[in-house]
Amino acid sequence: MKKNIFIAIVFTLVAMFSFTITSEASSTQVMWGKTELKKGQIGKVTLYADVATYKADGSRGKVLPAGGEYRVYTFRTDIYGGEYGLGDGLFVNMYSALKYETPSKAKLALLVDSSTKVMWGKTELKAGQIGKVTILKETTLFKVINSVDGGEPGLEPIRQLMPNEEFRVYAAEQPLDGYVPMYGLGGGYYIVQNNTMLNGVTVKYETPSRAKLALLN
């Protein structure tokens, strides 16, 4: 019994200090071999041996080791045929010990999909999202938990959400029998919907416009 209570306390403390519901800042990486495919990239080179680089003025740059893969952003012709531009003002001769490749249409499509975000206020609109709430007055964030002593599940207060914070909403429902309607913020977290008899008006709930949903799809 004491062990279960201790585990529950630890869980609550971890949740209080680690829980955040925010838009993800980083987009999904599109890997192509050893390197990440980047916007503006036209291809890549894989080196079969050590290869010398050259600067824009023709002077020697650093030597790149065999086996390396490098993004190519430009191609320019010269008296020796041409050079691949690797960025940072460095070039390699096209006839060096290397293999040049261009990204497939499928890879380029992934790059577009991964870098496109549909922002809605302070948060990113996500698939499966039905709306968002803006906190107007300090309100309690709850999480659905199982009772530590094997009883009925319930709602545990996690932390206070502060005015002007925005959160994605994935459900509007009663999370458990006998409870008031609540907004589901994902991950088993809920806040109480506006209720004049209980908490008054504490949040502003909005649904995404058709234009926003069209961008998402």
**pLDDT for 51-72, tens place per residue?**
999 988 889 999 999 999 999 9
CB neighbourhood size of 86 (10 A): 19
Q: Which two tokens stand for residue 50?
A: 């050590």
* Residue 125 contacts residue 216 (beta carbons within 8 Å): yes
* Residue 58 contacts residue 79 (beta carbons within 8 Å): no
Range list of β-strands (E), the chain:
31-32, 35-36, 43-47, 51-55, 60-64, 69-72, 74-76, 83-87, 90-93, 98-101, 119-120, 123-124, 131-135, 139-145, 154-161, 166-169, 171-173, 182-186, 189-192, 203-206
CA dihedral 8, 14, 17, 22 (to 10 degrees): -100
Q: Which two tokens stand for residue 200?
A: 């008054």
* Residue 206 contacts residue 132 (beta carbons within 8 Å): yes
Domains of the chain, by residue range, sit at 31-107, 117-216
The answer on pLDDT for 5 being more than 50 is no
**pLDDT for 119-176, tens place per residue?**
898 898 988 899 999 999 999 999 988 765 667 788 999 999 999 999 999 999 988 8
Rounded Cα distance, 200 and 62, in Å: 67
Terminal-to-terminal C-alpha distance of the chain: 49
